[in-house]
Amino acid sequence: MPIINYASKEIQFKVVYYGPALCGKTTNLQYIHSRISPTYRGDLISLATAADRTLFFDFLPVNAVVLQGFKTKFQLYTVPGQVIYNTTRQLVLRSVDGVVFVADSQWDKMQENVESFRNLEENLGRQHLKLDELPYALQYNKRDLTEVAPISYLEFLLNNRKRRVRYFEAVAATGFNVFAALDVVSQLLLHKFNREHPTIKPMPARAFPAE
């Protein structure tokens, strides 16, 4: 649920990049960080181990005016993908507004994708959230590699639910479809926000400098 501060007229949306270990969640955030002008974003905060593995989470704040009179802030998080850090994932998922599920397209990562997706659903369930009611998109990452599963199989594994969501073939290392996936999730959550808060009407986006 977005945090709305009527006093300071601010809305904060939280988007979480979820997925198995080494699927490219941090790379997504690094690319977004590298493409957005420093004027419009904060620093990328990354708590990683010496081996560049995400230890706690990555965090990137992006600011923009989207809704009338309200400063809208997007907070982008990643979770640690390694199985042992489930408590951290649960913490990061708290009050999540939208999810980009990053799947690793390599054949030998299929099981990890499925397990991570189930883990996402389970962790959302602990917060009484349903995946089917949450704005999310699927990003099939590492499509530039040779040993990758066909999209039809990834769709069968991860998008075979009653609600079929948008998916993106992506290469986070080059930025291919990184913003496209984030844009769609942002749009979905803004639509949802508008449905739930009809008094605040959408306006064309205009970025404003980070404070």
Interacting residues toward another protein by CB under 8 A: 22, 30-32, 34-37, 40, 50-53, 62-64, 66, 74, 107, 110-115, 143-144, 147, 149-153, 155-157, 159-166, 169-171, 173-180, 182-184, 186-188, 190-191, 202, 204-205, 207
Instruction: Select 3 or 203, whichever has its Cβ closest to another protein.
Output: 203
Q: How far is the CB of 6 from another protein (least distance, A)?
A: 21
- Decide: 16 and 29 in contact? Cβ < 8 Å: no
Instruction: Select 86 or 176, whichever has its Cβ closest to another protein.
Output: 176
Q: How far is the CB of 99 from another protein (least distance, A)?
A: 13
Provide the residue type at 142 as one letter.
Answer: K
DSSP letter (8 states) at residue 120: H
Q: How far is the CB of 17 from another protein (least distance, A)?
A: 13
Q: How far is the CB of 51 from another protein (least distance, A)?
A: 4
Q: CB under 8 Å, gap of 24 or more: what pairs does 28-34 form?
A: 28/78, 28/100, 28/102, 28/139, 28/141, 28/172, 28/178, 28/182, 29/58, 29/60, 29/76, 29/78, 31/172, 31/173, 31/175, 31/178, 32/60, 32/62, 32/76, 32/178, 32/179, 32/182, 33/60
Instruction: Select 130 or 164, whichever has its Cβ closest to another protein.
Output: 164
Q: How far is the CB of 50 from another protein (least distance, A)?
A: 6
Instruction: Select 87 or 108, whichever has its Cβ closest to another protein.
Output: 108
Q: How is residue 206 written in tokens?
A: 């205009």
- Decide: 117 and 35 in contact? Cβ < 8 Å: no
Instruction: Select 4 or 143, whichever has its Cβ closest to another protein.
Output: 143
